[in-house]
Every structure is written in C-alpha cells, then in structure tokens.
C-alpha cells in the first residue's frame, strides 16, 4: 500500500527551513523599530518563526518532522530513566505522567489542531506540573496526568477523537474504580476544544458515542486557550496578528481536515468552516450549557490577551457562564481569566521556549488548580 503521506523532498524541507530562518532574521533585526509585536525580543522572534512554519506546514512535512505522541512519551521516559506506563483500551492509548495509583487523575487532551502530535514540550510541562502539585502532598492525596494519544486527522476524522476521549474517561471510571470527584479534565488549544466536546457529551450524549453516566460531577476542568470557534473574522485576528503564534490559514485548514470537509487538496485554504455544538463549542447557545455544574464542579478557561483567539474566547466564556448560572450552577465556580501580554497557550509555550521562571498565566492556572485539589 502506498504511503498516504510520502516524505517531502530535501528541496521541499530546505525551502521550509529557509522561510523560517528568513522570518526569524527579519524580526530579530527590526524588533527595536516596530510598534506591533510580542512584548519581548525573544518571544517576538520565536513567534515569527512559528508563524512562518505554520504558513507552510503540510501534513506530509509534519509527519516527517514530528514523532508521534507515543514515541515522544517513550523518548522522555528513557531520558528521565523512568518506566513507561501505558494503557491500551481496544487501541485507544493513554500514557501516565506520574503514578497510576495517584488519588487524583487529570485526563489531558493535547493541542495541535487535531492534526499535530503531542510535543516534548507538552509532556515536559505536565511532568513539571505533576511534580509541583505533588510537592508537600502525601501519597494518599497525590496527583497524576493521563495523556490521551488520540488519533490525528486526516487519518482519523471527527468524532473519532471524541470517542477516544470518552473511552479513556470510561476506563478511569470503570476500570480504575475512581470517583468522578477524583478526576479532572484539561486540554490546550484543540485539546481544550476536545475537552469541551467531552463535557458536552456528558451533558448531552452524542448519538454516535456510548453514554457515560456520572455518580457525581468531575472535580474540575481547566482549559488553556481552548479552540472554541472555527471563525477567523474577529478583530483579534487582525489586532494580534504579529503578537501571537497562529495565522488565519491554520485554523481554516486544520478544522476542515478534522471535520472531513477539506477540498480535493486538503492543504489549500478552504475558507470559512463551521461545525456543530460538539466540535465547535461557540456554536452552542447558553441553554446548551445549562446543567453543566452537574457534570463538572469547577471550570477555568484561560486565554492570553495577545492571542488571535481571544475575541472568540471571551464571547464563548460569557455564554458558558450565562448558561452555567441559568442552570443553577454557582457562578463563582466557573472563571474566564485573560492574562495581559500573553499569547496562545503561553503557560505551556513557556516550557517549550525554555523560559526561566513562571509567567503570570502559568501562576494563575496553577493557583486555581491547587485550590481545586484542596476541595
């Protein structure tokens, strides 16, 4: 059988590298003279390089350059000298970060536009998070993360990823016998959107996915820059164009790839894309989210003021909060936090950029998480 994604030619890869290098050089030389851009020299240069890469990143290039989530996880375990701990439920793969015997488990759904694998930076961030959250906590009150290595589009299209997320949650509930109150949900970017899809399924069972019954709400959900809207005509896409890592073409192409609505050439920009209440959370009205407090006890939606998604995130957050409150939920248990001078998924991006210390957004998320762990 022919490879669905034949490796790119050397010339093809060289052209990608040249474009990234050119963008990086231009930003590095012109940073002192520009008004628009990221708040620091390092971020501005790195973000420009990421934008240049995303403009030209095809599926074949991505599959050739990047390792799978499972390969990345095993590499990092080897690097740290730890034994990989993996679960396989009929082909649905989950990787433990921390002890499988931990009392509280965070189910993590990674970002990458549903088309890109989990990176080493993602895993390293959650390795550090587990370490920090467990500091000073006894073995009987420890925390671990279970990473879902979900199938990527276009090889697997929606609702495959939602079905896999539901399978892993069911495993935690039924096979490990954990109470919902000892399970949390997290995700960044597309993984944040998938987390909201899973919450929607818990409240409104998807017709093509087995229903999950909860004896009580999940302890909490915290989402980093969740991809809630496939729309790219909000003002923030223009205002933050040079402050963020994303470019409008990327959400167009990746959302169409995920939904299976791509044109004959899936790498071409298909233009505006729309989904449904499960896969595009912003398309749901406030009434859809009524009763969500019976599914999850606490929710944090984090966004960066400088990300192109921020207008859509703010709109979604207001609708979600309105539905939560109208359905009888305590409004203090759902929060939308926007951190100034922060880009898309910046708390995790800090780990990828090897930045020292923790930025404001990362501190906000971790303080919220600590408060939930103590409840």
Q: Domain spans of the chain?
A: 1-65, 68-373
| 157 phi, psi to nearest 5 deg | -105, 165
Question: Among 325, 247, 260, 251, which residue's Cα sits nearest to residue 286?
Answer: 325
Nearest to 108 by CA among 100, 118, 120: 118
pLDDT above 60: residue 40: yes
Q: What is the DSSP letter of 187?
A: E
pLDDT confidence tier of residue 294, bands split at 50, 70 and 90: very high
Measured between alpha carbons, how far is 111 from 189 in angstroms, rounded to an integer? Answer: 5
| Residue 169, pLDDT score | 98
CA distance linking residue 58 with residue 15, whole number of Å: 13
CA distances from 274 to 153, 228, 270, 323 (A): 17, 11, 11, 22
Query: How far is 360 from 230, CA to CA, in rounded Å?
Result: 27
The residues near 9 (Cβ < 8 Å, ≥ 6 apart) are: none
Question: Whole-model pTM above 0.85?
Answer: yes
Task: Report whether pLDDT(5) > 70.
Answer: no
**Residues whose CB is less than 8 angstroms from the CB of residue 29 and which lie 6 or more positions away in sequence, other chains included:** none
Assign 2 a pLDDT band (cuts: 50, 70, 90): very low
Picking from 45, 15, 46, the residue whose alpha carbon sits closest to that of residue 28 is 45
* Secondary structure letter of residue 150 according to DSSP: P
pLDDT tens digits, 245-265: 999 889 989 999 999 988 777
Q: Residues of the chain with pLDDT > 70: what percent?
A: 97
Q: Please check the confidence at residue 3 and state whether its pLDDT lies above 70.
A: no
Q: For 326-352, how does the pLDDT look when each residue is reduced to its tens digit (9 = 90+)? A: 999 999 999 999 999 999 999 999 988
Instruction: Tell which CATH architecture fits domain 68-373.
Output: 3-Layer(aba) Sandwich (3.40)
User: What is the spatial distance between Cα 270 and Cα 329, in angstroms, rounded to a whole number?
Assistant: 39
296: DSSP letter: B
* pLDDT given for residue 139 in this prediction: 61
Split at pLDDT 50, 70, 90, the class of 1 is very low
């Amino acid at each position: 059988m022919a490879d669905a994604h034949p490796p790119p030619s050397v010339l093809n890869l060289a052209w990608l590298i040249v474009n990234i290098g050119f963008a990086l050089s231009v930003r590095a030389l012109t940073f002192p003279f520009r008004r628009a851009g990221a708040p620091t020299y390092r971020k501005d240069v790195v973000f420009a390089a990421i934008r240049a890469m995303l403009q030209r990143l095809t599926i074949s290039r991505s599959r050739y350059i990047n390792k799978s989530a499972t390969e990345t996880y095993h590499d990092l375990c080897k690097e740290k000298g730890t034994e990989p701990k993996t679960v396989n439920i009929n082909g649905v793969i989950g990787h433990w970060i921390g002890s499988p015997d931990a009392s509280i488990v965070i189910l993590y759904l990674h970002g990458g536009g549903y088309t890109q694998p989990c990176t080493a930076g993602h895993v390293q961030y959650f390795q550090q998070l587990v370490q920090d959250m467990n500091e000073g906590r006894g073995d009987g009150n420890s925390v671990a993360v279970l990473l879902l290595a979900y199938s990527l589009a276009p090889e697997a299209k929606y609702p495959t990823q939602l079905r896999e997320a539901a399978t892993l949650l069911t495993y935690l509930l039924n096979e490990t016998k954990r109470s919902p109150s000892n399970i949390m949900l997290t995700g960044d970017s597309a993984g944040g959107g998938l987390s909201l899809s899973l919450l929607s399924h818990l409240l409104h069972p998807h017709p093509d996915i087995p229903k999950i019954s909860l004896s009580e709400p999940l302890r909490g959900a915290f989402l980093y820059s969740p991809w809630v809207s496939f729309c790219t005509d909000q003002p923030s896409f223009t205002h933050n164009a040079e402050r963020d890592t994303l470019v409008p073409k990327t959400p167009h192409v990746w959302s169409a790839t995920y939904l299976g609505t791509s044109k004959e050439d899936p790498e071409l920009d298909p233009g505006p894309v729309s989904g449904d209440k499960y896969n595009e959370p912003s398309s749901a009205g406030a009434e859809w989210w009524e009763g969500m407090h019976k599914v999850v006890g606490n929710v944090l939606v984090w966004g960066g003021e400088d990300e192109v998604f921020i207008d859509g995130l703010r709109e979604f957050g207001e609708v979600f909060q309105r539905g939560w409150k109208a359905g009888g939920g305590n409004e203090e248990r759902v929060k939308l936090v926007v951190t100034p001078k922060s880009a898309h998924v910046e708390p995790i991006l800090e780990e990828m950029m090897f930045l020292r210390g923790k930025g404001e957004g990362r501190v906000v998320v971790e303080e919220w998480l600590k408060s939930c762990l103590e409840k």
